[in-house]
Each structure stands twice: as structure tokens, then as C-alpha cells.
Structure 1
């Protein structure tokens, strides 16, 4: 028990010590807590002030960083502004376009309107500088010496080196913001206006250059029209008109490739502007050509026909060309220069047919007493006219259809045809027209031959001319196609008049010879025989002298020899018979006095008139 009491007492002592320690610890902690509260109360204002200072320090640092950023941005803008203001430098187009493209892209990310407007102004300035370069390059490609006359006007129409510079520039210009693609872009309206002006300038410069390239050749065509063959002159005009279309075609291709604005309406409008000086040149050239033709229509008929035929062949290509000007342009102008030119040329061609016939009729009013027995000028003209008809058959046929069957005879007192002709009647009308030309020529030749004071020479004149017509129109035309244009009435009429002319030649030149040798009941006896021989040889001498001066069918040896054979068959046998008959009657003791030439000698003399060698 003592032990347990001792242990209990010991425990109580330890417990008391623990309580004392705990009390002292609690007192210390309370004191520490009080001191901590006092410390917190004294430190709190400093802590609050420190937080405010930290925030201010952070704000100051951020402000400094922003100031540095703004300063750097301003320096960049100033550098870009300087680059943009200078414009693209040679060989540095990509550098310039990259800056413009970067500025344009940055507009979408600018936080302030002020920044966007400033950048848009730079983009606008860059677009204008690039447009100025574009206009400068187009001007350089549209200047210089025009192609020499007689060369291809489309050759090197746009220099390759300038095209190489323009192509990348145009590709970039087409990426610039426009109202249609960037409706909210501040610079889009101004850029659109700038590009429109540049495109208009392009069209005007290229149109003026195209005209310059064609103008020299147009002048050459007009100058040569009076110095070269009419048909060739008309073909040259056709080649020039075709060259004009080729140039216009080439220019359209360039416009499509090089126009900054590619909408169909704007391309059509620019093309209309480009074509205007070219079409004006065409109209003035056609007007000058027609004025030249009208000054001497009979001389330049085939120039008109050939030119008309050449233009007709270009009509479909011309219509396609004009269709590219756009519907609005066509409504505004309401003109088709080719059709206007065709109408004017066709009117000249229509005039030529009745005027040609009128000239042929007027030819019969010449002075027959003073004319030669050779070819009349109008005979040559008719043959040349016929030679050329097949070469412009299409143009002549179309014109005659417009004129109407028989209406080319206006003014000769005959009624014009009342029936209407149309497509498909060209061949028939050509045959009718050629018949009237040949008939009018024959009538004028016949009337003219009758006015000669010496009928024998008039007969030679008629034979020579009718034979020349027959030979060169019907038998041996220069163009075989002419035979297809000769109707049966035409060939029959020519053959009939040739026979009539030949009969007239024999009648006026050799009938007196034959009459001198004919038996006349009233003239008998030796004296009559002597007079007949004298008259025969006197007449023969006149015939020989006449034929030495007035050659018969000089350019047709075959026909001339044929007539010579007929003359010999007519004269020599009659002389032989008459001579033999009179010798038998011993009409004279000295017959050589009256029979100046033997029949063989007469035949030889006659052969000298008709046979060569």
C-alpha cells in the first residue's frame, strides 16, 4: 500500500508540474498572440502600401512596353510610307507588292479606326503608284514607229519585253480590294475609280496605236488604187480590211489578258473605246475610196466590184468583232461601219451597170468619117470588161439581184423588169446582163460603121470589131468561166452578127469586082470586054491599096486566112472564067494591055492581103 501511495503521490506531483508548465505555456502563447495582433496591426498599412506600389510598378512597366511598341510601329509606318510614296522601283516590283499586300491584310486586324484609315491610305497610294506604272508600260508599248507599208500590221503589236513586265503587275492589280469583293474596305471605292481610269487610258492608247499601225497601209492602198490593176487594187483593200480585223482580234486578246478589271461589262466598254479610232479609220478609208471611184466610175468599176466582194467575205468576222463591244455599246452607236461601207460600195456598183451600157450607146454617136478600121476603144473596153466579170462574179451577181432584172437598161427608152429577183438568180441575171452588153456593143458598132463615108472601110471596121468580140468573148475567152455566163441567145447573136459583118465586107469590097466580070446583055462586043477588064483591075487595085492601109482581122490569123480563102474562091475562078471566055473571042489583038495580071498573079496578090509570109 505504501508503495502504491508513494506512486500516487508521485503522479500527483508530476501532474501538478504539468499543470504549471501548461499554465506557463498558455500565458506565453497568449502573450505571443497579443504581440502578433499588435504586430499585424502595425504592419497592415505597410503591406497595403506595398501592394499599391507593386501594382503601380507593373502598370509602369506595361506602359513602357506599350510606348516601345507604339514607337516601333510608328517607325515601321514611316518606313512603309516612304517605300509606298517612292513607288515601285525597277526590278523590285515584288518587294513593293509584298508591302501593299501586307498593309492590305493588316487592315482586318487593326483595333482602332484611325489605324485602319491610315493603312488604307497607304494601300490606296500603293495602288495608284502601281497603276501609274501600268499606264507607263502600256504607253511605252503603244509608241514608236508604225509597221512599214506592205508588212503585217499584227507583227510585234505589243513588244514581248513590255508584256513580260506587265503580266505580273496586272495579276497583282486584279487582287486589289474593290467594292464588289471588299465592301467594307476604306480604300476600295478609290481603287476602283483608279483602275477604271487606267483601263480607259489603256483602251485609248491601244486604239490610237492600232490606228497608227493601220493608217500607213490604208494610205498606201488609196495611193496605189490609180496605179495598179483595178481588181488587184480592190483585193489590196480587202487585205487591208482583213488586216484591220486581225489587229482588232489581237487587241481583244491583249485586253482580256491585261485589263485590271475583268468583268464582262467593263471589258466590253473598254473594247468599244479601243475600237472607236480603228472604226473611224475604216470609215474614212472607205469614204475616200468611194470618192476616188466616183471621179471616174467607168475606169474604176472593177475596183468597186472587187472591193465590195472582198468586204462581203469579211462580214461574219466583222459582226463577231462588233458583238464584243457589248449590247449597251451597240444600242448607243447603232452603227455597223462594214455594212455602211458595203451599202455605199454597192450603190456605186449598181450605178456602174446602167452607166456602162449608156457609155456603149453613146459610142454610136462618134464621127464615123474620121474613124479607123481598127478596133474601137469601146470594143476593147467590152472585152476587158468581160474578161474581168468571172473574177468578181459573186459581187456582180449580188449587185444585179439588188438592181433587178433588166433595170440596168434604164434610160434607153425600154421598160424595166417588173419581176423581183432573189438569191439563186445571180447566174441568170448575169447572162441577161451580158447579153444586153454584147447586143448594145454590136448595135453601136453597126451604127458607127454606117456613118463612115466609105462603106467599104466601114464594113472592114465592123468585121474587125465583131470578129474580135466573137473571138475573145465566145471562142477563146481569157477565163473559161466566161463561157458559163454566155447564154444561147448571146452566142447565137454574136454568130449571126459575125456572118452579117462578113457578108457586108464581101458585099462592099468584092461585089463591085464580081459585077465588073458579070455578063450584062446590054454590054456586048469587044469594047465592053475591054472596059470590064479595065474596070476590074482598077477596082482590084483599089481593093489592094485599101487592104494595105486597112488590115482585116490583123490579130486573128486563122480567121483572116479563112476569109482570104473565101475571097480567092470568089474572085479568082470568076476572073479565070471571064478571061478564058474573052480570049476565045479574041477581044483584043493585044490582050496583055487589058489583062494586067493573070489569075495566078491576082491570087498571089490577094494572098498577100490575108496570108502571112
Structure 2
């Protein structure tokens, strides 16, 4: 037992010694490895210190190489534009005719590109090259402008406008093949402006666009020259006092020619130039023609002002034509609205003033009349005044706008119309122009009739003659309203105004008939039986019984009344037949007289005819008197 235990301990002790021996060797090996690592770190540090200068030099060499490459590339880029100067100069100096337009435009394009590259380098050494290329580009642009001008002139000779206006043909535009060429030239010149005119204040409008406006503007103005002259020449009349007749002036043809030409030039501008240049180019092209147009309108306005009472209608026509022309052009182009409005201003003012002038002319002419017809006939100024108003009906459109701008009643010098309408408000955009025109016509009629009455009252003796005179002139007024386009304009307004004057004339005329009617008013004796039937009675009047109950004095008085009536009645019948009356007035006055006299005479005759059985005093029975009265019409 003891021996086996000892053997086991010995084995364990041997294993421990082996393990200790191995541990000792491991420590030794670890120490050696640690020493090696230390030596390796030291060597690596030495290597890094040795390599660092070499790495820095390599990086600098690489950057230097990159810079050299870039410098060489920049030098190459600089040399390219410099080389272009000689290669493009031969083409540009040769010109588009020899080199060909396409090649010439390509050369100008390359020159522009070269200038852009040179200017981007901003090197002092390239300034000479920039100057040479700029000079070369300028020469190229000048030659392009020359080609542009010559090409444009080929189709810019004045044409006969009446050929196109009368046949309703569109005015010629630039041929399409030339449009393409001109558009390319304009585009090339526009691009070149960046280098040639960097501080240009024209809004980027190239010289070619200005050339277009100049050449085509001259073409338009010269084409319209004869129409402008014709518009002025056609104002001359054989009869100075004749009213202007619509359409007899050349302004209509002038406007039509202008419209056709302006639309053609707007189409040309749209095809040749970029969108932002359409309006300015079109406006510049039209400027010369518009200047001449404004001058023509001023000449026409001077003529109208000198003959306002006869030729104010030309002013209305011009406003109508030019306003419509402006509206159509603005609708299609969006341009020239203000220019046309400015051109129209003088004539528009003359047209406004003409309304008051016409009214004052009516008053003035009546005041200056030497006399009034002693037979009560209507005077010529009445149909003349109404003819003016009838003529106005042909210019509804311009006159309604004028009326709205003028304001109700402002055609009077004091701004107040005859029926005291409030005109203080002036311009009212919501006003009804047709209604204002109706007011003007009514005021003109009032001014006419009032002036005629004032003139006739001291000349025509007796109210009856004055009444016939007023009625006759009213009859002319009414007839001319009903037979013309004035009636729908004036609507019911004129009826009341005219009716007032008609009633006044009738009332004055009937004033003379009060004398014979006064003899037919008898005295009823109520204390005598059988003299008067009860009120409302339909019983026949017994003249014999009534006369029988009268005294001799009463009978003599009745005979005298019949005698006086006969004398007065026959005198008025004779005067009535001597008076000059309009047909409708003659019948109307006859009916009024009949309505006044016949009932009175019939009653008087029924009651007192038996006072004179021999017919010495009672000259007419009811039927005879009615026939005479009916014959007055």
C-alpha cells in the first residue's frame, strides 16, 4: 500500500517538473518575441521617417504635372481663337455674295464663339486678339446688314392701295423664301450685339430690326400717301352750304388701306423676329404712316371746324371709322391703341363742341331772319334743322359715345337743358347713349320752336296767325320724325315734347274763333215757361215757341247775334283759306274749329232759328254750317 502511494506521488512530482520546465521555456520565448517586436517597431519608424520626404516630393510632382497639363490645355484654347482670326477673316472679307450666305453666317457664328472664349480667359495677352476678332465680327455684321437691307428693299416698292382695297385683297407680305433668309440674318446680328454693343439701351433690338422698321415704314407711308391726299381733297364741295353726305370723303378708303398694310407688316414682323420684338418692331414700322395719318386728321379737323354746321357729320364718320379700325387692329395685334386715340382727340373735341354749335346756329339763323311768312307758312330752317337731326341718325355709334362722354345736357353753353336735367355729373359710363341722343334731339326741337315763336310774335299780328305758324312748323317736325330713323331713337319722348308745341299752336289759333263762338252764348230766361227744356231732356226744341215768348228787344238782340256771328264766321273762314298750312295741320285745325263751333251753333240754331224766317240774319242751317266747317280741311 505504502509502495503504490509513493509511486503515484513520484509520478505527479515528475509531471509538475515537466510543466514548470515548459513554462520556463514559454516565458523565455515570450521575452524573445517581445524583443523582436520592439526592434521591428524601431525599424518601421526609421523607414517611415526615411520615406516621408520621398512621398511629399511625389505629390508635388503630380500637382505640377497636372498644372502643366492645364496650362498646355489653356495655351491650346488660347491658340484656337487666335488661329480662327486668320481662317475666318478670308470668309468674312470675301462677303456673303462670294462666300455664300450659309458659309458666311457659319463663319460669323464661329467668330462669336471665339470671342466668347477669349473674353472668358480675361488674359492681357488676348486683348489684341479680342480687338481683331471684334473688328472682324463688326465687318461681318455690317455686311449682313447690307444684305438684309438690299433683300428687304427688293419687295418694298410702294403699291397701288386701291387695287387691294376695292377688290378686298390682302396686301402683299415678304415672300417666304426671303423671310427665312432675313430671319437668319437678324438672328446672327442679334447674337453679335453681345460683343459689339454690350451697353446697348435699345432693349436688345438689333440694327436689322431698325432697318426693317425704316424700310417697311417708308413703304407703308408712301403707299398710303395718295389716300391721305384724297381724304383732304374730297372735303371740297360744289355747294358750300350742303350737308356732308356719308361716305363721300376718302377717309374710309384711307382707313381700309391702313388696316390692310398694318396687318401685313405685323405678319412680317411675327415671321422675322422673336416674340418679344413683335410689338416694338410693328409699332416703329407704323410710326411714319401714323404721323401722316395724324396730320391728315388735323387738316380734316380744321376744315370741319370752319364748316361745323354742315360738315360736323364728317367728324362723326371719322370717329366711327377710326375707332372701328383701332378696335380691329388692337384685337389682332394688341398694339397702337393709344396712337389712334391721340390722333382722334382733336376731331373728337370738335364733334363734342358741334352739338352746341348746331343748336346755337339754329337760334342765330332764326334771329337773323329778315321776316316771317305773313301767311303762317313753315320756314325753311325747320326742315333744315330736322334734316340735320335725321342725318345724325346715320351716326348712332359714334354719337352715343360722344353723348356719354359729354354728359346729359352739356351741349348747352350753361350746362342746363331746357327741361332742367341735371348735367353736373358729367361723364357717366353707365349712361344710355341712345337716350342721351334722344334728349339732344328733343332739346334741339325745343330750341327751334322757342326761337321761332320769339321771332314771330312781334311780326305776326294776332294769336291766330301765330298759332298757325307754330302749328305748321310743328307739323314739319312731326312728319320728319315719323318718316325717318329718328322715330326709333326718340321713342315716346318726342311725342310729349312735340305735342306740347302742337297744343300751343292750336290754342293760339282757336283764340280767334272765340269771337264768333261768343255770339252763340245766349241768355236763358228761366222765368218764362217753355223757353228751355229740362236739363238732360231729349225732347225736341220748339224754336217757334221759344221765339214767341221773347220780347221784341230780345228778338232784335238775337238777330244781331246771328248777324255778328255771320260776319265774324265768314271773315275767319276767308282768313283760314288764305293761310298756308301743312296738309296734316290744315285738317287738324279744321277739326278743332268744327269741334268748337258746330255744337254751339247747332244748339243756338235749334233754339232761335225762327227769329228770322226770311234768312236775312239766320244765313246758315246746321247742315250748311257743318259742310262749310268740313271744307276747311
Q: TM-score range by the shorter chain?
A: 0.5 to 0.7
| Aligned residue number for residue 226 of structure 2 | 216
CA distances 1:255-313 after superposition (whole Å, capped 9, x unpaired): 33346xx5845x65544432221110221122122112111222233332343344444
CA distances 1:2-39 after superposition (whole Å, capped 9, x unpaired): xxxxxxxxxxxxxxxxxxxxxxxxxxxxxxxxxxxxxx
Report the Cα distance in structure 2 between the residues aligned to 1:522 and 1:444, rounded to whole angstroms. 50
Q: Is the 8 A contact 2:467 2:504 kept in 1?
A: no
Q: Is the 8 A contact 1:568 1:606 kept in 2?
A: yes
| Aligned residue number for residue 352 of structure 1 | 354
| Aligned residue number for residue 293 of structure 1 | 304
Q: Is the 8 A contact 2:148 2:185 kept in 1?
A: no
For 1:387, which of 387, 390, 394 is the aligned residue? Answer: 390
CA distances 1:481-516 after superposition (whole Å, capped 9, x unpaired): 3244x54xx6434323312211222333x4455457
Report the Cα distance in structure 2 between the residues aligned to 1:410 and 1:120, rounded to whole angstroms. 69
Q: Using the TM superposition, give the Cα deviation of residue 454 of structure 1 relative to its aligned residue in structure 2, in angstroms.
A: 3.8
* 1:373 aligned onto 2:385: no
Query: Pairwise mapping of residues 563-574 of structure 1 onto structure 2 (< 5 A)?
Result: 563-571=589-597
For 1:142, which of 156, 162, 168 is the aligned residue? Answer: 156
CA distances 1:430-482 after superposition (whole Å, capped 9, x unpaired): 56544433332332232233233343433221111123334544x66534532
Q: Is the 8 A contact 2:92 2:108 kept in 1?
A: no
| Aligned residue number for residue 570 of structure 2 | 537
- Structure 1 pair 232–135 and aligned structure 2 pair: CA distance change class (3 A): same
Report the Cα distance in structure 1 between the residues aligned to 2:192 and 2:92, rounded to whole angstroms. 27
Q: Is the 8 A contact 2:144 2:189 kept in 1?
A: no
Q: Is the 8 A contact 1:142 1:158 kept in 2?
A: no
Q: Using the TM superposition, give the Cα deviation of residue 156 of structure 1 relative to its aligned residue in structure 2, in angstroms.
A: 5.5
Q: Is the 8 A contact 1:361 1:441 kept in 2?
A: yes
| Aligned residue number for residue 462 of structure 1 | 470
* 1:244 aligned onto 2:248: no
Q: Is the 8 A contact 2:520 2:601 kept in 1?
A: yes
Partner of 1:409, secondary structure, is coil
- Structure 1 pair 458–100 and aligned structure 2 pair: CA distance change class (3 A): same
Q: Is the 8 A contact 1:354 1:410 kept in 2?
A: yes
Q: Is the 8 A contact 1:153 1:247 kept in 2?
A: no
Report the Cα distance in structure 1 between the residues aligned to 2:423 and 2:556, rounded to whole angstroms. 59
| Aligned residue number for residue 27 of structure 1 | none
Report the Cα distance in structure 2 between the residues aligned to 1:238 and 1:147, rounded to whole angstroms. 13
Q: Using the TM superposition, give the Cα deviation of residue 121 of structure 1 relative to its aligned residue in structure 2, in angstroms.
A: 9.6
Report the Cα distance in structure 2 between the residues aligned to 1:388 and 1:431, rounded to whole angstroms. 14
Partner of 1:87, secondary structure, is helix
Report the Cα distance in structure 2 between the residues aligned to 1:341 and 1:372, rounded to whole angstroms. 51
| Aligned residue number for residue 422 of structure 1 | 428
- Structure 1 pair 125–599 and aligned structure 2 pair: CA distance change class (3 A): same
Q: Using the TM superposition, give the Cα deviation of residue 601 of structure 1 relative to its aligned residue in structure 2, in angstroms.
A: 6.5
* 1:281 aligned onto 2:283: no
Q: Is the 8 A contact 2:234 2:249 kept in 1?
A: no
| Aligned residue number for residue 29 of structure 1 | none
Report the Cα distance in structure 1 between the residues aligned to 2:405 and 2:135, rounded to whole angstroms. 65
Q: Is the 8 A contact 1:463 1:501 kept in 2?
A: yes
Moved more, 457-466 or 571-580: 571-580
| Aligned residue number for residue 561 of structure 1 | 587
Q: Using the TM superposition, give the Cα deviation of residue 339 of structure 1 relative to its aligned residue in structure 2, in angstroms.
A: 2.4
RMSD value, Cα: 5.2
- Structure 1 pair 356–145 and aligned structure 2 pair: CA distance change class (3 A): same
- Structure 1 pair 506–226 and aligned structure 2 pair: CA distance change class (3 A): farther
| Aligned residue number for residue 481 of structure 1 | 488
* 1:256 aligned onto 2:270: yes
Query: Pairwise mapping of residues 109-148 of structure 1 onto structure 2 (< 5 A)?
Result: 131-148=145-162
Q: Is the 8 A contact 1:306 1:392 kept in 2?
A: yes
Q: Is the 8 A contact 2:559 2:611 kept in 1?
A: no
- Structure 1 pair 522–423 and aligned structure 2 pair: CA distance change class (3 A): farther
Report the Cα distance in structure 2 between the residues aligned to 1:603 and 1:409, rounded to whole angstroms. 49
Q: Is the 8 A contact 1:234 1:310 kept in 2?
A: no
| Aligned residue number for residue 179 of structure 2 | 167
Query: Pairwise mapping of residues 491-570 of structure 1 onto structure 2 (< 5 A)?
Result: 491-508=495-512, 510-514=513-517, 524=557, 533=566, 536-544=569-577, 546-547=578-579, 550=580, 552-554=581-583, 556=584, 560-570=586-596
- Structure 1 pair 410–176 and aligned structure 2 pair: CA distance change class (3 A): closer
Structure 2 gap segments, 5+ residues each = 1-86, 115-125, 200-204, 524-553
Q: Is the 8 A contact 1:529 1:587 kept in 2?
A: no
Report the Cα distance in structure 2 between the residues aligned to 1:434 and 1:500, rounded to whole angstroms. 20
- Structure 1 pair 571–587 and aligned structure 2 pair: CA distance change class (3 A): same
* 1:443 aligned onto 2:450: yes
Q: Using the TM superposition, give the Cα deviation of residue 429 of structure 1 relative to its aligned residue in structure 2, in angstroms.
A: 4.7
Q: Using the TM superposition, give the Cα deviation of residue 164 of structure 1 relative to its aligned residue in structure 2, in angstroms.
A: 4.6
| Aligned residue number for residue 411 of structure 2 | 408
Q: Is the 8 A contact 2:220 2:261 kept in 1?
A: yes
Report the Cα distance in structure 2 between the residues aligned to 1:562 and 1:459, rounded to whole angstroms. 13
